[in-house]
A = this chain, B = another copy of it.
Amino acid sequence: MTRWLTEPEMRAWRALVSRTHHLMGELDKELQAEHGMTVAEYGVMALLSEAPDRSARMTDLAARENISPSGMTRRVDGLVRKGWVERVRCPEDRRGSFAVLTDAGFEQLRTAAPDHVRGVREHFVDQLSERQLANLAAALERLD
């Protein structure tokens, strides 16, 4: 006996999928055009910039960004090619390696951040009330 989705449930589900997808697409195009980087790359660099020594293990990065280890390897590959990140072999566990944000990477992030934040505000944050944002965060953080 299947409990089908009610009309409000369906609306919430469809809105979540389609709005999020569209939103990410817009932000990606903007950040790519203005600063030659993707939102995914931005995410990694933002994480690194706030980490001790501006560095983190590959596994941690993958977990924090919700992608597979191999996906993170390639994402970091791209950042290394652009000179924004370096790899450093881990001394006390020679299997692992650190991704470290370079000075050029930090500067790139500093330059891109205002534009990216403006994009997030324009397409998302500033279109909702403080209350709506709080409710949305509370709801989504409850999942899983």
Interface residues of A (CB under 8 A from B): 2-5, 8-9, 11-13, 15-25, 66, 113-114, 117-118, 120-121, 123-125, 127-128, 130, 132-144
Contact = CB atoms under 8 A, between A and B. Distances in A.
A22 B113 contact: no
Given A20-B17, A22-B144, A141-B19, A113 B12 contact: no
A17 B24 contact: yes
A9 B125 contact: yes
Contact of A135 (B2, B132, B143): B132
Contacts of A114: 2
Given A18-B66, A133-B12, A143 B118 contact: no
Nearest 3 CB-CB pairs, A to B?
A15-B140, A12-B137, A2-B114
B3 A121 contact: yes
A18 to B, nearest CB: 5
